[in-house]
Amino acid sequence: MLEFIKKHQATILFFCLVIGALLLYSNSLRQKQHTSLFERGILQLTSPVYQTIDTTARSINDLWSNYIDLTAVRQDNIKLHEQLRQQGKQLLDLQEIAQENIRLRTLLKFQPEPEQHEIPARIIAVDASNWFRTITIDKGTADNVHEGSPVVVAEGVVGRTIKCSATSSRVLLVIDAASEIAALIQHNRTRGIARGKGATLTFDYALRNKDVNIGDMVITSGTGGVFPKGTPIGTISSIYKPDYGLFQTLELTPCVDFSRLEEVLVIQNEEQ
């Protein structure tokens, strides 16, 4: 027996290691929502390095873009003035609608939406592999950011935090294949699930008989318990209706340009 073990020592060790690695992986699968001590330690250890690299990269980038921007500043100024004028009018209209909304809510005795506190964060790193879609931000448990916090920008949903250390957190983007969000189509309130596909999203379980059009906006439904209701996810870019079945599948183009993300907002719930 001992001779057999000695002879096949390497093979037995490899086999044991593979079993051990499999057990660790299956255990991690069950505890996906928690950040392990190992992950927390490594994230904590590398956080200063990431922040230094990010600060250096930003200063170099700012220096370069400030120079480039100077060349087209007059044309930009004229364009922006025109935009400002148009948006000023839109803002007045929206203020009027908001006032009306408040009046109607009071009239119908609607519960006010819970207060949400937003924490601004900078993106300091992206996913190490080319197929998963996660980012690392410079805020962690020390800033009251915890696992499962929604992350947004002005354009729409970015994702949710999955791993948090004291000074940094990892965010799972909505376009990652592991991401699922309860969503609805804005104009006809059709409910479904928005799933990541790598670069785009799909909207599943939309009833086949519902009238949907390309360009329709899809927003969060607020029923998943993570994202606040009404945050834009994407617009419908293609519709697939199979010959039979209850549902149609829609492809969504995300509202957020993930390749140009620099800052995000982490939303804290009232309890946090």
Partner 1 sequence: MIRLIRYLTTGIILIVLQTAVLPHFLGMHFRPDLLLILVLYSSLSNVSPCSGAFYAWGLGCLFDVFSGTTLGLYGIVMLIIFCASASTGRQFNRDNNITMIIATIVGTIAQSALIAFMLLCFANTTQSWLPIIKQLPTQLLINLGTIILITVLKQPVVEITQQQKLHRNQRSQSSWG
The two structure tokens encoding residue 180: 């699922």
Contact partners, residue 221, CB within 8 Å, separation at least 6: 182, 183, 184, 191, 229
Nearer to partner 1, 58 or 105 (CB): 58
CB of 2 to partner 1, least distance (A): 18
User: Which residue number, 186 or 193, has a Cβ lying nearer to partner 1?
Assistant: 193
Contacts of 28 (CB under 8 A, 6+ apart): 36
Residues in contact with partner 1 by the rule CB under 8 A: 9-10, 13-14, 17-18, 21-22, 24-29, 32, 36, 38-39, 42-43, 45-46, 49-50, 53-54, 57, 124-132, 134, 136, 162-163, 170, 172, 176-178, 195-199, 202, 258-259
Looking at the Cβ atoms of 38 and 115, the one nearer to partner 1 is 38
Q: How far is the CB of 157 from partner 1 (least distance, A)?
A: 17
For the chain, helix (H) and strand (E) counts, in that order, are 4, 12
Instruction: Give least dist CB 195 to partner 1, A.
Output: 6
Work out how close the CB of 244 gets to partner 1 at its nearest, in angstroms, rounded to a whole number. 21
Nearest residue (CB) to partner 1, 127 versus 155: 127
Strand partners, 236: 252
Q: Which is nearer to partner 1, 152 or 162 (CB)?
A: 162
Shorter beta-carbon distance to partner 1: residue 113 or 262: 262
Q: Is 189 left (phi over 0), alpha (psi -120 to 50) or beta?
A: left
The one-letter code for the residue type at 239 is I
C-beta of 3: minimal distance to partner 1 in Å? 19
- R_g (Cα) of the chain, nearest Å: 24
Give dist(CA 130, CA 11) in Å, integer.
Answer: 32
- Does an H or E element contain 206, and which? strand 201-207
> Whose Cβ is closer to partner 1: residue 29's or residue 70's?
29
> Residue 127: CB partners within 8 Å, gap ≥ 6?
133, 134, 135
CB of 251 to partner 1, least distance (A): 12
For 237, residues 6+ apart whose C-beta sits below 8 A from its C-beta are 200, 214, 251, 252, 253
> Residue 80 CB, nearest distance to partner 1 (Å)?
28
171: nearest Cα among 99, 211, 241, 122:
122
